[in-house]
A = this chain, B = another copy of it.
Amino acid sequence: MAGSSFGTLFRITTWGESHGKGVGVVIDGCPAGLLLDESIIQDYLDRRKPGYRKYSTARNEADSCEILSGVFDGKTTGTPISVLVRNTDQHSNDYRDLADLYRPGHADLGYAKKYGFRDFRGGGRSSGRETAGRVAAGAVAAALLAEFGISFRTYVKSIGPVVIKNFDPDEISRNDLCMPDASAAEEASAFLEQCIKEKDSAGGVIECVISGVPCGLGDPVFEKLDANLAKALMSVGAVKGVEIGDGFASAAAKGSENNDPFSADKDGSIRKETNHAGGILGGISDGSEIVLRAAFKPTPSIGKAQKTVNETGNSVRLEIKGRHDPVIVPRAVVVVESMAALTVADALLMNASSNLAGLKKIYS
């Protein structure tokens, strides 16, 4: 089944595996006339680059991108933008020992049953390396959205048991963990040092806030904006939960607490006084900030001994070698932001034909 495309009008198709020749993406449906060059994409890629920050894999990838098509005279032409990132630092031999066994927490068994055999080198297509294509495309989506005044602020809300208590936006880029709370970042670092010592790993929660989204994006029923955001985030490997606005907490609230009252500004524009809804009502953006969260499980590749079996069903004691992140959450911040940007960009384009009056503006 063709499962590597995302979006309807702003549609991306990613390809590539951990230890193949490279990874990449084809971005099809980006409107013509957007200023674009490699540096815009590279900025995003650098945010997920292995080895960029502390606590990330020692794999050393330049992750430098090349735009192969779809841009002319510095602007998008409306035709597909193909972006290529070559793999340069694969150590495939690290994985020979794992070829016939099923790593706990990984998709090895599922791939083997599904396809009859599998590319065992670094998880193949299930590797986190697959997200490079998403991020390259997310950079383009974000550049498009910026033209409409839409922007993103994404950060780590928790690492393992350590949750932020304060919110200082400037702090996000100051610490290695992308946390908007310096003391939480410090505490989380200590927790991660402990994990490393124990050859164990940690997970965490990422929060993304989207500002400037016009009211009316998303479509009723199945193409709700939050439904597509949920799919977008849950499609990222290691994500096990997704929330919009108050999320699971809203299930415990009463209607009178959870409903956001509407009021009008002096200029007549209508807005919500609170934002329990997280910017989406009935699947349609309501003009408030969109707030979403994704829960990441701990990195499944750990050095600590684990119990598993090989293909013939024999028990195996597994201690994973190789270069693995004790936590992938900080590197995943830009992946979450990219998936959110791709979803909103698609919704922006899809909404363009929602009513006759709007459509006539295009063709008049």
Contact assessment for A110 and B281 in the assembled complex, using a CB-CB cutoff below 8 Å: yes
A residues 194-250 touching B (CB-CB < 8 Å):
195, 198, 200-205, 214-224, 226-235, 237, 240-248, 250
Tell me how far the C-beta of A96 lies from the nearest C-beta in chain B, rounded to whole angstroms.
13
In this complex, the member of A6, A20, A240, A287 whose beta carbon has the largest number of chain B beta carbons within 10 angstroms is A240
Tell me whether A110 and B277 are in contact in the complex, defined as CB-CB below 8 angstroms, given that A9-B1, A221-B4 are known contacts: no
- Give Cα A205–Cα B252 distance, bound, in whole angstroms: 9
Q: Are B33 and A115 in contact (CB under 8 A)?
A: yes
**A281 near B105: Cβ-Cβ < 8 Å:** yes
Of A46-54, A57-65, A351-359, the one touching chain B: A351-359
CB distance from A180 to the nearest CB of B (A): 17
Known: A21-B69, A105-B281, A114-B217. 10 other contacts (CB 8 A): A3-B222, A13-B80, A77-B125, A84-B84, A110-B215, A114-B355, A231-B231, A240-B251, A241-B242, A262-B309
Q: Tell me, yes or no, whether A167 is within 8 Å of chain B by CB.
A: no
Q: Is the Cβ of A302 less than 8 Å from the Cβ of B256?
A: yes
CB distance from A175 to the nearest CB of B (A): 19
For residue A329, give the distance in angstroms from its CB to the closest CB of chain B: 8
In the complex, A109 has a CB within 8 A of chain B: yes
Contact of A221 among B3, B77, B312 (CB under 8 A): B3
A308 to chain B, nearest CB (A): 4
Q: A361–B67 Cα gap in the complex (Å)?
A: 29
Which of B68, B205, B226 is within 8 Å of A21, CB to CB? B68
Q: Is A56 an interface residue (CB 8 A)?
A: no
The reply on A160 being an interface residue by CB < 8 A is: yes
Cβ A72 vs Cβ B124 within 8 A = yes
The smallest beta-carbon distance between A177 and chain B, in angstroms, is 14
Q: A169 contacts the other chain (Cβ, under 8 Å)?
A: no
What residues on B are CB-neighbors of A315 within 8 Å? 263-264
Tell me the minimal C-beta distance from A358 to chain B in angstroms. 5
**Complex contact A354–B243 (CB within 8 A):** no
**What is the CA–CA distance of A281 and B266 in the complex, to the nearest angstrom?**
52
A306 touches B261 (CB 8 A): yes
Residues of B within 8 A of A5 (CB): 5, 11, 13, 28, 222
**A224 and B215 contact, Cβ closer than 8 Å, known pairs A262-B309, A308-B261:** no
A228 to B109, CA, bound (A): 20
B306 touches A256 (CB 8 A): yes
Q: A2: which of B10, B24, B214, B357 is its contact (CB, 8 Å)?
A: B10
Contact between chains at B227 and A235 (CB < 8 Å): yes
A107 touching B281 by the CB < 8 A rule? yes
Are A242 and B230 closer than 8 Å at their CB atoms? yes
A102 close to B (CB within 8 Å): yes
Q: Which of B258, B297, B359 makes the CB contact (< 8 A) with A251? A: B297
Judge if A7 is at the interface, Cβ distance under 8 Å: yes
Q: Which residues of B contact A6 (CB under 8 A)?
A: 222
A102 touches B17 (CB 8 A): no
